[in-house]
Amino acid sequence: MSRFRVLFGFFVAFCAAFASAQPSFEFRVTQDWTSGFQAEITIRNGGTTPIQDWTLEFDYTRAITSVWNGTLVSVVGNRYRIRNAGWNATIAPGAAATIGFVASPGGAPSGPTHYSLTQGSGGGGGGNGEGSGVPGTPSLAVSATAQGVIATWNLWYGNNATRWQLFESGSLLAEGALTPNAPHPQSASFTLPPREYAAHAYHVILTNSFGSTSSGTVAYTFGGASPIVLDGLDGAAQATQVTVGIASTTSLSIRELGTADLALRVTSNNSVIATGLVNGAKLTVRGLKPGRASLRIENTATGSVRYLGVRVRTDKGALPALPGLAFGSVSEDTPGDLALWRDFADPARAKRVDVRYIYLNGGPFTGWRTWNPMDGFRVKSFIRESQKLGIVPYFVWYNIPDGGESYWIDRQHISDVAYMRAYFRDLRFTLELIRNLAADEPVGLVLEPDFLGYMMQMSGLRPGQIPAMTQAAYAEGVLDPATDPIFSDSVTGLVQAINYTIRKYAPNARFGWQFNLWASPGITVGIPAKGLMRLTDTLGIAAGRTAIANETREIANYYMEAGVTTHGAHFVSVDKYGLDAGAEPGAATNPASSTWFWHLDHWNNYLLFAKTLRTMTNLPVVLWQIPVGRINATRTVNPATGFPFPDLPNTTTRFEDSATSFFLGDQFTATGARKAWFSTNQGGDPGLTVNGDVTQWRHHLRETSASGVSMILWGAGVGDSTDGVGSPPTDDGWWIHKVMSAPRW
């Protein structure tokens, strides 16, 4: 369905008397998505006489774009009038009629208010009973639907209306004839300029046979844009961010399309900016210190909202850099996820991270580009919403596999010229979107998780010995053999070609390949069943860590031989595991039996792995897909309740893990096997304190940074994982509370 938002203004007909029957009204949302929703209103006749020829009126701050089981007659400000569809004009005593509609924006919308139901001939809107406007004076209501750039306008008019005209900025855009006194609305279709994320106002003039006219303003928004306009900043597509200088003030004229009077307010994430509103029509933004922020502009009269990102330059004029150790999270463009980051009206409640990421996955035939009718919508929306929030967007590019993943699937796909041609076609398409939408932004790409891990672990071959159809990039025209390097038809050539393609088409992109803890089949040492990080369990701290470092070097050598550091790669990436440790059977009660419920020694082994990669590759390390779950029995107080956060029940989306407790620090109660496990500290970590049954792990952010880590990206790896975002998040908000209170430098 169209994600096309319409606001209406126009001349309306007379109202009729209230019916004697007593109706009631029920509102229900039937579908909700990022920028809109579908709902229905049920009218129940609680009286003793039929309701006939009814017209429903109500106040609603959402913008209704289409109606069924009824006809939209008029909209004045926030007041909607909808007439029966003919076949449901009579509602018998005890019976009901239901109308449906699509409106925007979405996000758990509440229902209309101030319902009024009239019945009789006064409920219509034109000649011959279809709208009884003042004789000789046309009246109209306008609605629009769009597929691509085609708009259809349904025109209601009064007696003797003969012609309609549509103007934009004083220029005639379209016009057409009307049949005077016709009993039904007429439609006109015409082509609009292609516009995404746009807000525009149009003027409609109706002329009758006597030459008299009536007119109305029609405003619409497309692609998640807001009717609130910032003159001088908005262009063909509505701007998502503004860049200001340090200690300087930028002023922007502000208005809402189709609205004469504004009742505006502005709130902001005030860590780096100060905002103000002058005479209700000019927005001021002052840079306080270099960084990124977001502000919310709200028209309190209409309910319209707009979010705008702000970048504050350094004193040397450079764009703000990410912190030395940046924090990020997986975060979809769902109403729940976006609501978490938009809650900054009260600075004490503000929630923000430096980076947010999503997956671009599924392969070139049934993958992410097919998930929405607007090609590229997932990338376009994510970049725009991130910019509006003052957050840097990252993508996990995961398309060598498609719907499934394994060593055999990956080998099959990289050997298939047709598959790889489509792969490079999608990669170029994505990179051009990134360059066009965020040319000066550091948009991130984590490349092909697990692919090289499978090759190292299972192929028995070096990367240059594994065939791959790199030639597909040239056959598809993504690379030109006359001007670009010739890369070999091997995994090494493929990796180098991907790196080169990114640098060629999106020089602003920051990219790196994902490394796997499990990639090595055991070159210098046997790998235990519980993985490389557990070598200290059997070999002891000194010997175990020497073995871990040696094996990490072999992993780094393999990946570097595959070409991961070539053509300007910016980082290397390491995950932990796609599911929180508490999902393992028995892990919660006996963590010593688990594979992934790590104690301090294991996490410090993990930092050793990262530090060794940093030394070998000479690139910073991004920790990705770090679990959000915490160790239960936390003593951290939830500021919303005044009591400690509750335990996670170790059920789907609410599992324990020790990752966030290690990185962000926590104090928790533990007894028996759990106390013994979480107080294990053969490596002498100074961050451990045990006092009776209370164990404390202080945060390990400085140690993480010192290990060469530049960014921690938290988030669920699979659907069952604990989710730290959303409204409310499934971890009860512990993770974001700790992130917001963590020391930063």
Instruction: Kindly report which listed range (1-10, 169-178, 282-291, 361-370) carries the lowest average pLDDT score.
Output: 1-10
Q: Which residues of 276-296 are buried (b: 16+ CB within 10 A; e: fewer)?
A: eeeeeeebebbbeebbbbbbb
Distances (CA, A) of 282 to 265, 276, 277: 11, 8, 6
Same domain, 541 and 409: yes
The answer, yes or no, to whether residue 588 has pLDDT greater than 80, is: yes
Cα three-residue angle 723-637-686, rounded to 5 degrees:
85
**600-617 and 541-561 helices, crossing angle to 10°:** 40
Show Cβ contacts of residue 223 under 8 Å, excluding neighbours closer than 6 positions.
3, 35, 195, 196, 197, 198, 374
pLDDT tier at 86, thresholds 50, 70, 90: confident
Q: Are 443 and 509 in contact (CB under 8 A)?
A: yes
Q: Which residues of 580-601 are buried (b: 16+ CB within 10 A; e: fewer)?
A: bbbbbeebbeebeebebbbbbb
The answer, yes or no, to whether residue 97 has pLDDT greater than 50, is: yes
Q: Are 663 and 704 in contact (CB under 8 A)?
A: yes
Dihedral over alpha carbons 56, 59, 60, 66 (to 10 degrees): 30
Q: Are 233 and 310 in contact (CB under 8 A)?
A: no
**Structure tokens given for 113:** 């208010």
Residue 667 lies in a domain: no
- Burial of 191 per CB tally in 10 Å (0-12, 13-18, 19+): exposed
Show Cβ contacts of residue 454 under 8 Å, excluding neighbours closer than 6 positions.
406, 407, 410
Residue 638 lies in a domain: no
Q: Are 677 and 592 in contact (CB under 8 A)?
A: yes
Instruction: Kindly report which listed range (72-76, 268-272, 316-320, 651-655) carries the lowest average pLDDT score.
Output: 72-76
Same domain, 382 and 520: yes
Q: Are 702 and 621 in contact (CB under 8 A)?
A: no
Residues 130, 131, 136, 142: is their CA dihedral positive or negative? negative
Residue 685 lies in a domain: no
**Structure tokens given for 88:** 């449901």
CATH number at residue 275: 2.60.40.1080
Position 398 scores a pLDDT of 97
Position 374 scores a pLDDT of 82
Residues of the domain holding 379: 326-627+701-741
User: How many domains does the chain contain in total?
Assistant: 3
Quick: pLDDT tens for 358-407. 999 999 999 999 998 789 999 999 999 999 999 999 999 999 999 889 99
Other beta carbons within 10 Å of 398: 22
| Residue where a domain terminates, one of 199, 219, 239 | 219
Position 523 scores a pLDDT of 96
Same domain, 564 and 432: yes
Same domain, 203 and 185: yes
**Structure tokens given for 210:** 């006597």
Collapse the DSSP code of 184 into the 3-class scheme (helix H, G, I; strand E, B; otherwise coil) and give the result: coil
Q: Are 102 and 66 in contact (CB under 8 A)?
A: yes
Other beta carbons within 10 Å of 556: 22
Q: Are 644 and 637 in contact (CB under 8 A)?
A: yes
CATH number at residue 166: 2.60.40.290
Q: What is the 3-state secondary structure of 6-17? A: EEECCCCCCCCC
**Nearest to 205, CA basis, from 10, 21, 34, 16:** 10
Residue 657 lies in a domain: no
Same domain, 70 and 215: yes
Mean pLDDT of the chain: 87
Same domain, 400 and 529: yes
Q: Tell me which amino acid residue 619 is.
A: L
Cα–Cα dist 348/442, whole Å: 28
Same domain, 252 and 382: no
Side-chain-side CA neighbours of 185 within 13 Å: the count stands at 20
- Residue matched to tokens 């016709």: 182
Pairing mode, strands 241-244 and 305-312: parallel
Q: Are 108 and 37 in contact (CB under 8 A)?
A: no
The answer, yes or no, to whether residue 183 has pLDDT greater than 60, is: no
Residue 633 lies in a domain: no
Q: Enumerate the H helices of 459-599 as residue ranges.
A: 472-475, 491-505, 535-539, 541-561
Position 65 scores a pLDDT of 75
Quick: pLDDT tens for 484-529. 999 999 999 999 999 999 999 999 999 999 999 999 999 999 999 9
Show Cβ contacts of residue 582 under 8 Å, excluding neighbours closer than 6 positions.
588, 597, 629, 648, 650, 655, 656, 657
Mean pLDDT throughout 320-332? 96
Residue 557 lies in a domain: yes
Same domain, 374 and 462: yes
Same domain, 294 and 340: no
Residue 215 lies in a domain: yes
Kindly write down the DSSP assignment for every residue of 3-50, as one continuous string: -EEEEE--------PBPSS-EEEEEEEEEE-SS-EEEEEEEEE-SSS-
Position 592 scores a pLDDT of 96
Show Cβ contacts of residue 657 under 8 Å, excluding neighbours closer than 6 positions.
580, 581, 582, 596, 597, 627, 628, 629, 630, 631, 722
Mean pLDDT throughout 74-86? 80
pLDDT tier at 321, thresholds 50, 70, 90: very high
The answer, yes or no, to whether residue 267 has pLDDT greater than 60, is: yes
pTM value is: 0.80
Cα–Cα dist 506/502, whole Å: 6
Residue 637 lies in a domain: no
- % residues pLDDT > 70 (the chain): 88
Cα–Cα dist 84/93, whole Å: 17
Same domain, 469 and 413: yes
| Residue where a domain terminates, one of 219, 248, 281 | 219
Evaluate the omega torsion of the peptide bond into residue 105 and state whether it is cis, within 30 degrees of 0: yes
Q: Are 151 and 176 in contact (CB under 8 A)?
A: no
The helix (run of H) or strand (run of E) holding residue 694 is strand 694-697
Mean pLDDT throughout 572-585? 95
- % residues pLDDT > 90 (the chain): 64
Position 15 scores a pLDDT of 26
Cα–Cα dist 213/620, whole Å: 68
**Nearest to 24, CA basis, from 90, 85, 97, 73:** 97
Quick: pLDDT tens for 132-165. 333 333 444 455 444 444 555 556 555 567 888 8
Show Cβ contacts of residue 720 under 8 Å, excluding neighbours closer than 6 positions.
579, 583, 652, 653, 655
Same domain, 268 and 330: no
Q: Are 547 and 483 in contact (CB under 8 A)?
A: no
The answer, yes or no, to whether residue 189 has pLDDT greater than 50, is: yes
CATH number at residue 535: 3.20.20
Same domain, 375 and 414: yes
Cα–Cα dist 463/735, whole Å: 39
Position 229 scores a pLDDT of 93
The answer, yes or no, to whether residue 10 has pLDDT greater than 70, is: no
| Residue where a domain terminates, one of 189, 219, 249 | 219
Distances (CA, A) of 620 to 325, 569, 708: 10, 10, 5
Position 574 scores a pLDDT of 98
